[in-house]
Structure 1
Amino acid sequence: MIRLSGLGLALVAVAACTPAAPPETHLDAPFERLQSGYDFLTPETQALQDDTFSNPGYLWVDRGAELFNTSDADAPSCASCHTTGLAGVAASYPAIDSDSGQLLNLEGRINTCRERHQHLPALDYESDALRALSAYIANQSHGLPLSVDISGAAATHYANGRDYFFTRRGQLNLSCHQCHDQNAGKRLRGDTISQGHGNGFPAYRLEWQTLGSLQRRIFDCDTGVRAEPLPLGSQTYIDLELYLSARANGLAMESPAIRR
């Protein structure tokens, strides 16, 4: 017999009152007005995000700046190539890598640069160093609009990510669409359901008490509906990141945001 927590029971209630959306109802812009997750926070949490001295995410931004500018005898620093900084770069990811043809998210781009140009090993997902570097690079695009490209080779990845967003899964038989489209703005226990945009990531989640990537948030969402989560960095999750970013195109980058 499966025993559901309070959150599980609340999600079951959402599933019961929101029938599955058939493929023809896929909407890439389902909202009259795009709203960042920031808009669904309490005023106190918004104030924490806005204060760069109090926002704990800036601890990782500062650490990332150190790593970005560090070189040794065997490897040049990131800064030695990117002499003018990387403003706007994170706002365009995930993106197709012109050399390999792969779709890379920001973390994948960092690791590809490490392996290809610095001859260093890739960093593990959610490692402190990768979170710090991604936070530092993402923060350079703070306030700039998301602008991912879904044309050409990215189109198939976008379609795959969209399909995952609309697919029911897990023991609770819920899709991302049912929460973040059909029930955005409604209350789920003590929280308000957002539109599901990733413009604040890497973000400091109060639930985690640490900074984490959008991949970790997706992983947690799958776990929340009692689905078997995919490995961090899986192609399916990167495709979903592309879809989430594309449907949020135009929203300002906020990393490091604060989220519940």
Structure 2
Amino acid sequence: RTPAGAGASCAGCHGDAAVSMRGVAARYPALELSTDLAAIAPARLLNLEGRINQCRSRHQGLAPWPAESQPLLGISAYVAMQSRGQPLQVSVDAAIQPYWERGRALYLQRSGQMNLACTHCHDRHWGDKLLGETISQGHGNGYPAYRLEWQGLGSLQRRLRACQSGIRAEMLPFGSPALVELELFLAWRAGTLAVETPAVRR
């Protein structure tokens, strides 16, 4: 439906989501650059939530939804669900390589009072137990996901921030370029795993 104050609904532009959105989520994060802004704005790396909010503000004339808000999580999960079962297809070409490099560096960087990096748990110790929980391989192909500890849907960035809190590191702000770059690296790292959104996690 058309939101109050909007010029169009999502379906008004995209039609049947089962057709138009098939495979879309599997390609994000991705570089986005509007041709009308090319002269004044550099390319930006956007995750799916960022792309949805860009579309909302640019084409509907509405304010972006806040991070972790129910409307943003809901529509992100709905769009991603149209790609369920499809392999991730994140492209890392020359243009996106610098973003991938920064995401990889963050993945490998020790931080926090515990002086740990993502790789220490999710590459070296996946399958082991930590506080009674099995350490995962750290793939994000199921997000937005329903986590039992949250009792609701949450984004991959919420999970990444929880990891940062767990190692007593400063949590990066929602939507920060560094978190989106980390999402890009994780999507690449997951290879051709299938989209599982909305997955259920502990």
TM-score scaled by length of structure 2: 0.92
Question: What is aligned with 2:162?
Answer: 220
Question: What is aligned with 1:96?
Answer: 31
Q: Deviations over 1:146-201 (max 9, x none)?
A: 11011132111100000000001000100000000000111112211111000000
Q: Deviations over 1:73-119 (max 9, x none)?
A: 64200011111420100010000003251000001000000111111
Asked if 1:235 is matched to 2:180, the reply is no
Please give the secondary structure, in 2, of the residue aligned with 1:103. Answer: strand
CA distance in 2, matches of 1:259, 1:92: 22
Moved over 6 A (4+): none
User: One-letter code of the match for 2:188?
Assistant: A
Please give the secondary structure, in 2, of the residue aligned with 1:204. Answer: strand
5 Å matches for 1:1-260? 69-72=1-4, 74-85=6-17, 86-99=21-34, 101-260=43-202
Q: Taking structure 1 as reference, are residues 121 and 173 closer, same or farther at Cα in structure 2, changes over 3 Å only?
A: same
Please give the secondary structure, in 1, of the residue aligned with 2:127. Answer: coil
Question: What is aligned with 1:28?
Answer: none
Please give the secondary structure, in 1, of the residue aligned with 2:200. Answer: strand
Q: Deviations over 1:55-90 (max 9, x none)?
A: xxxxxxxxxxxxxx4345642000111114201000
C-alpha contact (below 8 Å) 2:141/2:187 kept by paired residues: yes
CA distance in 2, matches of 1:114, 1:222: 30
Instruction: Specify the structure having the higher radius of gyration (Cα).
Output: 1
- Note the residue ranges of structure 1 that are not aligned, 5 or more in a row: 1-68
C-alpha contact (below 8 Å) 2:57/2:63 kept by paired residues: yes
TM-score scaled by length of structure 1: 0.72
How many corresponding residue pairs?
192
Please give the secondary structure, in 1, of the residue aligned with 2:87. Answer: coil
